[in-house]
Amino acid sequence: MTSLHADEAFLGHFQLNHDPFAPRVPGFKFFPAQRKPVLGQLHHLARYSQLLLVVTGPEGSGKTLLRQALVASTNKQSVQSVVVSARGVGDAAGILHQVAQTLNVARPDVGSILGQVVQLALTGQEVYLLVDDAEQLDESAMEALLALAAGAPEGRPHVFLFGEPSMIAGLEQLSGDEERFHVIELQPYTLDETREYLAQRLEGAGAGIELFSAQQISDIHESSEGWPGTINQVARDAMIEAMIASRSAVKRPSMGFKMPKKHVLAIGAVVVVAVAAAVLIPGRGKAPVAPGAEQTQLGQAAPNGGAQPSVDFAGSSQPMPLPLVGQSQPVMRGPLAEEAGGISEGDDGGVPAVDGGVASPPTVTTTAPPVGVPSGPAPVATPAPTVATAKPAPAPVAKPAPAPAAKPVVKPAEKPVTVAKAAPGGSWYSSQPANNYVVQIVGTSSEASAQNVAKELGGDARYFKKSLNGKPLYVVTYGNFPSHAAATAAIKNLPAKTQAGKPWPRTVASVQKELATAR
């Protein structure tokens, strides 16, 4: 699953022109109805309030999208927007350096920046200072931003912080009893907004909402709890799982009416034995043939009843039974006979197999009368010609010797069927407080893959089994945290390879709900 996250294998499968659920999609402008009042409120407060404005929500709640909409909806002629990020540079020096650089201020300090803001105000231009990833601000940076928001009598910048709720505690500590900031909390999408969001994402990539069924959309909304960033992750996982299932179905060989090879060989062997028996058996049931008739049958009758020479058919020149393909006798090997149903010599009263199963034809001997004996009818008591029966001497009749060709067919050892263990951790999730958080690492259709991922992460990782589109899905989670902020902080300490898969915090309650549904 992780490798599928790294490449774009599903683009061709679904005929998409780009990943519809990538974190940053150029030109994507979805903005649900519930966000529009928030955007209007930010513009109103920026104009009439003297407070620092804080927009909070969990990771993937759409804070960056709202910040982009705020910048896009301002009047570029009267507002200069300064966008900075606290990621990796959350101290006062790092933040003020970014602001000073954008505003062309020589000295990156609060006084110099406020001086430039006042100069811009005199020309009728306001400054919007927007800070992304504000939860990474340290105390010095927060204090500097509060000072900028307070401004000077002649002018001040409008400061907006976009971050997770964990930063509010630091602002409260710095503000004390004084009202210095205002918080706006983002709300998750409703089911209808989730459907609309998915539709616009897919349409932008050249597909349609019909890729998801109504039940899948409902499952995506429930699993993501309505947060757009998590919707992206869950929807992409669902598409990848559907692709894997589709490819597995195509690659699986069709059983249809295709008969196993060993059964075909067995049936062929039965047919060969039946044909051989049909050719050989009739010769055994014939009554002794009169001398003249026998000779005529063999094409040796003398004209006018004259004496006939003695003709002995024994050895390689003897007449053969009705030939098969290639004028050769069928050879029934021991293992093949066993596959044909255990057929052995003499089962149907036919000629015993000799020397590996080759049936010996009957030997026919004719004897001419002595010279001088009249050629009239022979005495009844002494018939001259003798027709040998097809039954050879008992001595040569032997069962096939234990030669290598007659060894029983040794079937290849079948691989032992591994009974998959129940996904560990199910009882663990049920015993944890519902309000706690875990970090979802990955979801995969292979339990072995889930076990490997959990093993790599160590003892704090576990996985549970759920059902997605009627197929099992093994979900690996990490840790057990008392709050969303703690879970988010733990993500930053995971290995880089794991972070590349975009892990995300989720409540234990949501896992418990999925486990209950799976039962």
- 281-293 pLDDT tens trace: 655 544 444 444 4
Take residue 227 and report the two structure tokens written for it: 């947060």
Is the pTM of the predicted complex or chain greater than 0.85?
A: no
**Chain-centre distance for alpha carbon 491:** 26
- Indicate the residue type of 352: P
Average pLDDT of 362-382? 44
Q: Mean pLDDT across the stretch 41-55?
A: 89
Residue 213's φ and ψ, nearest 5 degrees, are: -80, 170
Domains of the chain: 13-24+191-248 (no CATH), 35-185 (3.40.50.300), 426-518 (3.30.70.1070)
Q: Where does residue 33 rank: exposed (0-12), middle (13-18), buried (19+ CB within 10 A)?
A: exposed
Q: Which of 252-256, 370-374, 444-448 has maximum average pLDDT? A: 444-448
Model confidence band, residue 280 (pLDDT cutoffs 50, 70, 90): low
**pLDDT, average across residues 184-200:** 91
User: What is the pLDDT, as a whole number, of residue 139?
Assistant: 92
pLDDT for 281 equals 60
pLDDT of residue 130: 95
**pLDDT, tens digit (0-9, with 9 covering 90-100), for 409-453:** 444 444 333 333 344 446 899 899 989 999 999 888 889 888 999
In order, the DSSP letters of 25-39 are: -TT-----TTHHHHH
Whether residue 158 is predicted with pLDDT greater than 90 in this model: the reply is yes
Residues 6+ away with beta carbon under 8 Å from 373: none
Average pLDDT over residues 53-73: 90
Decide: 84 and 132 in contact? Cβ < 8 Å: yes
In angstroms, the first-to-last Cα distance of the chain is 24
pLDDT in tens, 197-246: 899 888 888 888 988 999 999 999 999 999 988 998 899 888 888 888 77
pLDDT tens sequence across 480-500 = 999 988 988 899 889 988 887
| pLDDT tens column, 87-118 | 888 899 999 999 999 999 999 999 999 999 99
Averaged confidence pLDDT in the chain: 73
Query: Which positions ≥6 away from 141 have C-beta within 8 Å?
Result: 86, 90, 91, 92, 94, 95
Q: Does residue 277 have a pLDDT over 80?
A: no
Residue-level pLDDT at 144: 94
Residue-level pLDDT at 245: 79
What local confidence, expressed as pLDDT, does residue 207 receive? 86
User: For 35-44, 47-56, 297-306, which range has the lowest pLDDT when averaged over its residues?
Assistant: 297-306
**What are 392's two structure tokens?**
């050879």
Under the banding of pLDDT at 50, 70 and 90, the label for residue 264 is low
Mean pLDDT, rounded, for 336-350: 39
Query: Is residue 388 within 8 Å of 344, Cβ to Cβ?
Result: no
Least confident range of 24-28, 77-81, 358-362? 358-362
- Is-contact 503 440, C-beta < 8 A? yes
| pLDDT tier for residue 316 given thresholds of 50, 70 and 90 | very low
| Range in 12-26, 122-136, 332-346 the model is least confident about | 332-346
* Local confidence band at 469 (pLDDT 50, 70, 90 cut-offs): low
> Quick check: 231 and 506 in contact, CB under 8 A?
no
Length of the chain: 519
Instruction: Determine the average pLDDT of the residues in 150-163.
Output: 91
Cα separations in angstroms, 494 against 333, 418, 458, 500, 504: 64, 32, 11, 10, 12
Is residue 479 pLDDT above 50, yes or no? yes
Q: What is the rounded CA–CA span in Å between residue 24 and residue 102?
A: 23
Question: What's residue 444's pLDDT?
Answer: 85
Report CA torsion sign: 59, 60, 64, 67: negative
